[in-house]
Structure 1
């Protein structure tokens, strides 16, 4: 071998090396956006969690969700359903921004019903919506009744109602190519660039230039060449469970009102029974009067039979015993009349006893109604309203 010859790479080896470097470069190009996205998500996720917690806390305190911020001052602006997050009102120290320092968008579900508060789902409005079915009055009438207090229970009612409402594009919702549904509220991270090139950082359905302003991308929508936004939502049932609504609604909206309704019906039933007993007492009193008449009649029969006996005895004496048979007949008449009087007296005593027993039952029923049942009903009625006034307890918050 020539001393000046140097060993190097062959063309084949060089080609293989270039191919390997190209593959690595392509892989890096593909992985770099995903890596950046993962870093961005890791930085933003804690802020989103804190914002959800702040919105839940606001809902507990105010029994509603906040309106959006229309002018960027950190405060909610009434009738604004889509805008910036009202971070000052939520007690947050700074606006909600992503890793590129772009503001999130906040949108809230507002679907009012002025005719029927029970169907109202304007989640930004505090309103008495929980109207449990109650039987009240004498005689009781059953109907859904407003209890006069608007608190977190009424927000729970609105969230439950919204879950079952028919879909409408007029109100805030998320959508994909295959599905669309309403949500309680949503937060939109605008990403890092205007990928759909429409003049807004918010891409696709999230853009203010979109055909339907109330529609937003579904949280499962993938990052693509035309969309790098991230949508974070709270569904109605999710927020409802986070607030601990289910157990409290079951007690305050159903169990306690059912007890009040049962007592209202029972209270009326007791009064109806009292009226029936009064009729029975009147009948018993009439029977006593009738029994007294029977006794009087029996006494009159004894007197008449005794007179007949006297006449018979006199006739027998005048006829020197010829009419002694009449004495026997008259004596039998006196005995029969006396027996009738005894039976009449026994019947009268029984009727008086029945009258006294009915009177005792009436006294007991009066005591039950006036001193036990009515106070118990009033107590339960007050407890139902007091429970409604308490709303959802803070210590039930998960």
Structure 2
């Protein structure tokens, strides 16, 4: 490492959101003129825009809405400073060449040495920096070097783009622990009489995503092949061997969106169908009680459907009310250990979880945009131990 670095992540800037965050980042950068700024993913909420909107247009609009930050970044580059982006799941489109060109135009970058985008991860000495979404199955790409395509996005990002943003449902952003009951109650509290319409749109979106998971194998494989073709270049850029990088890829979990069954269960469709079975069975029993069905099959079938559905729900909810609550934080902690072992890194730095962690060999940056108190960032100063600091 040849110069000091500031590392932060998860500002989640968009046209409508994050002005206080971008102002805080601009002030921080102006106070550290000689440091390289490393932005470790989810700096921009590009996943709020429709798939047809080019990432270059989205970036131009975000910078127009956050002029103080744009000005501070431009000043930093004019002074000879460096700014490096490491894309996350919400700004994965930064890996596209058109998006990189848009960044350079917006920030008047003189060359790609001062302003660069490092796909997947970068290394500064023994420090390994990446966003961390590769180790979260709901937000993992098909291949960390395969580029970005809205048609093959991870499940979490696709839900953001196709349901959360179009329905102004940002309360569900980053809410991976939401269960069907919690989701329904939140929908009726927020939208009242409009809730059934929003819920119907949610189901239309999730059925579409399940269908895509079931038939997307060819597209997923094409993305993996593109990623494999970039291994040598990424190895050269990071100083690691192709073999080492291949071992990291092998250690990553299978993305949820690649499997129909995984997607079905992750979206709690099993509980939804069990609830529907219970309701249908009770309806059949009620109809039989009112004399609307003469066949003996009606009450018998109704009782069976209701019993199966209710039993499944009771068992599943009692075993794990929220199947996915509090899983991401330990998953990234385990991934950090693997990265250290495989790459001999002295420190692994992730973001993504919005939960700060600081322990020997591993720092999670939390979120500069959604911090509960002052905004966290990591300072790497020459000759000093890494420090997790806070900006007001």
TM-score (norm 2): 0.30
Q: Which has the higher contact order (CA 8 A, sep 6+)?
A: 2
Rg larger for: 1
TM-score (norm 1): 0.29
